[in-house]
Amino acid sequence: MTIAGRTLGSLLLFTVLLAAAPALAKTLVGALTAGAVASPDRFGALAARDALRKGGNAVDAAVATGFALAVTYPEAGNLGGGGFMTVYMDGKPYFLDYRERAPAAARADMYLNAAGDPDTALSLVGNLSAGVPGTVRGLYDAHQRFGKLSWKQDLAPAIALAKRGFRVPAALIAERDEAAPQFAKTTNFAAWAAPMRTGQLFRQPELAGVLQRIADQGADGFYKGPTADLVVAQMARGPIKGLITRADLAAYTAVWREPVVGQWRDFSLITAPPPSSGGIALLQMLQMKADAAPLFRGQMLNSPQYLHLLAEIEKRVFADRASYLGDPDFVKVPVAALIAPDYNARRAREIDPARPSATAGVVPGLEKPQTTHFSILDRWGNAVSNTYTLNGSFGAGVVVEGAGFLLNDEMDDFSAKPGAPNMFGVVGGAANAIAPGKRPLSSMTPTILLRNGRVAMVVGTPGGSRIFTSVFQVIVNAYDFHLPLKAAVAAPRYHHQLLPADTIFAEPYSPFPASLAAGLRTRGYKLVNQGYNGDIAAIEVAGRTPVVAPDPRARGFGLVVP
């Protein structure tokens, strides 16, 4: 389906790919001078480099990185979580949904206390907060469809890192120490994490054994047999029992979905469809900004008026997210209507140019913050943008005994009660209610930008509800404000999400400058320094040469691979 409309001052075409992508399929992929990787840590980048140097493509490199991060980036890299992968391969777009699923025994009211209110102690920590993991099946299915190297070759770096160990960075120790108190007394996190010491080798022989079974047996090495038995046994341990069964694990499937594709300026954006809210939100924000071009004209990046206008856009996007978005296998998501140009032009006309619109009046218009992301580009011009997660830092804080990997707390991403906020302060509705086998709504936004059929940028980030607003700001910084990639990524990022009302969040290491704070307060905003605002992993192509700019906010690492 193609939807065309006129923006204020420019023509903007938006397309929802719900069946196929014939226009993109006809484009030719051009060779580049090199491949590239933007990874959240050095070990993941080196794993990708090795795969590319051996003749592997972007998917091989992504699989190698994904498994390596399960060893060296345990706060978010994972075997026990799930995610989304956006792929551009041989001139065609693809999207793989390997999000976690609710166990068969899950119930809509399973996290409500006697008073009928959400109990976050159950949805965030311990066995009951874990959904059925999807990472291994997702990476396996991606490799089976597109990989050039053998499966064992792609897993070799991760197995070596687990067996031989890696030197623990100080940043990982800081993450561990910050997360540990919430897991005390209710999980086995402390026993697993205690051996980590800054600068010392951390060996994980049990995890190496699991990785070796996966290398030898494919996804069945995780979802069946000894590893599955260890996961099920873990569900019965501790004060909080879990729901995942052998049948849940054996029945897990990843899903190839049609990506959402939109045209913005002279770029085609390939991005995430539901159960992600991120792709739709990103396209809505880009479109509303274009429709409101007269209001933005002459505004400096991150000036008080610029941030006010962004907040007005974001407020409307989050109102739609709360009401309409969920797992498309369970609810009908009005994707075409939400990104239709006429709809977003009308929403843009609702922007109050002077003060925040009253939160109660911003209604849907149709009727933790730890994740990780990596971007890969091979020398043939194929690309992977992959975001996967345990949800909160170190997930549920539960380590599968005998297997050495952490389980997710992704069940908190469901709406435990319509209108009640999750760990990121985001509200949801009935469309995202818990149901057996259902995948929770996500903000993950792995995105690939094309220009004339060739990859122009591969981008994504962790950050919970901040994900798509962060991706949006980097894209706009690069292409509306013409900043070099390094500056576009490093620029301060700000966030608004409808609730709490009239609140703009800044990063802790980039507090509001006095003049900016005064200008926003004059307009009626409350200002909050938040604890986290993403870790962008972006690759931009200049001519035929990739450019990588690691986010200075974390321990990201970028490599160009000749």
Sign, Cα dihedral of 525, 529, 530, 534: positive
The phi-psi region of residue 457 (left if phi > 0; otherwise alpha if psi is between -120 and 50; otherwise beta) is beta
Structure tokens at 266: 């002279």
Q: Which residues make Cβ contacts (< 8 Å) with residue 424, sequence separation at least 6?
A: 368, 369, 443, 464, 465, 466, 497
- The residues carrying an active-site annotation are 371
Whole-angstrom distance, CA of residue 204 vs CA of residue 223? 20
Q: At what angle do helices 151-164 and 135-146 cross, to 10 degrees?
A: 140
DSSP code, position 388: E
Distant-in-sequence contacts of 502-505, Cβ < 8 A, 24+ apart: 502/356, 502/359, 502/526, 503/527, 503/528, 504/307, 504/311, 504/528, 505/466, 505/529, 505/530, 505/533
Closest C-alpha among 426, 380, 485, 344 to residue 28: 380
Instruction: Identify whether the C-beta of residue 338 lies closer than 8 Å to the C-beta of residue 273.
Output: no
DSSP string, 32-47: -S-EEEEESSHHHHHH
Whole-angstrom distance, CA of residue 230 vs CA of residue 280? 38
Q: Which residues make Cβ contacts (< 8 Å) with residue 358, sequence separation at least 6?
A: none
Whole-angstrom distance, CA of residue 464 vs CA of residue 368? 6
The phi-psi region of residue 242 (left if phi > 0; otherwise alpha if psi is between -120 and 50; otherwise beta) is beta
Instruction: Identify whether the C-beta of residue 73 lies closer than 8 Å to the C-beta of residue 372.
Output: yes
* Sole residue written with tokens 């959904």: 131
